[in-house]
Structure 1
Amino acid sequence: MKKLHRRLRQLTVKQLELPKDVIFDLPRITMIASYQMYIENHRGVVQFTDQYLHLRLSKGELKIYGNQLVIRAILPEDVFVEGLIRSIEYID
């Protein structure tokens, strides 16, 4: 049943030409240089310091390492982070 549901979603995406992140609730990450990052479809903050941010995503987890990290805005599904972003790790 799960495979059928996934297949129907894939066909919907293909036929309607919709972005996959909309249909499959996938994370979308937008980064401006190494100073700002906007993450959509997060499922909560696991851990946060001024050098580390760990987010739970709809599919996997995201770890952000940097300096002077600040969460500028946090909404139920979106996070806006500023600071000097040094590296990003996505865990599926």
Structure 2
Amino acid sequence: MAWHDYKKKIKRQFSEFLEIPGDVMLDLPKIVLFGNIKIFIENHRGIIEYTTEKVRVNVMEDEVAITGENLLLRNVLPDELCVEGKIKSISFL
């Protein structure tokens, strides 16, 4: 087991023991979807790609890809962002 994986496992166990939400303790992204018109992403690490058809966002060690039509970034803050438009798919890459 790699050191990074071991560290993540310890944090997860500690989080469960103290009943602390995983998104806080493990720095996981929190994603909230409102129908297919709006998505909020908390704990992001930056925007990788932004077009009206695709938004890619860096989250922890992965990225979230949002595809759709007329996508628009709203409320871009250091750790939170909102994407509005007609959302067709969300995937983790």
Give the 5 Å matches for 1:35-54.
Answer: 35-54=37-56
| Structure 1, gaps ≥5 residues long | none
Give yes or no for the alignment of 1:75 onto 2:77: yes
| Structure with greater strand share of residues | 1
1:68–1:6 CA distance, 2 compared to 1 (3 A):
closer
User: Could you tell me which amino acid in structure 2 is paired with residue 23 of structure 1?
Assistant: M
Q: Distance in 1 between matches of 2:8 and 2:65?
A: 27
The match for 1:22 is 24
Displacement after TM superposition at 1:14 (Å) = 1.9
> What's the secondary structure of 1:69's corresponding residue?
strand
Does 9-18 or 53-62 show the bigger shift? 9-18
Q: Which runs of 5+ in 2 are unaligned?
A: none
CA RMSD of aligned residues (A): 1.5
Q: Distance in 2 between matches of 1:6 and 1:47?
A: 28
**Residue 88 (structure 2) aligns with:** 86
Distance 1:7 1:90 in 2: 21
- Contact 1:27 1:59 (C-alpha < 8 Å) held by counterparts: no
Q: How far apart are residue 40 of structure 1 and its match?
A: 0.7
The alpha carbon displacement at 1:15 in A equals 2.0
Shift of 1:89: 1.2
TM-score, normalised via structure 1 length: 0.88
Residue matched to 1:58: 60
How many percent identity over aligned positions?
Answer: 32
Deviation at 1:41, TM superposition (A): 1.0
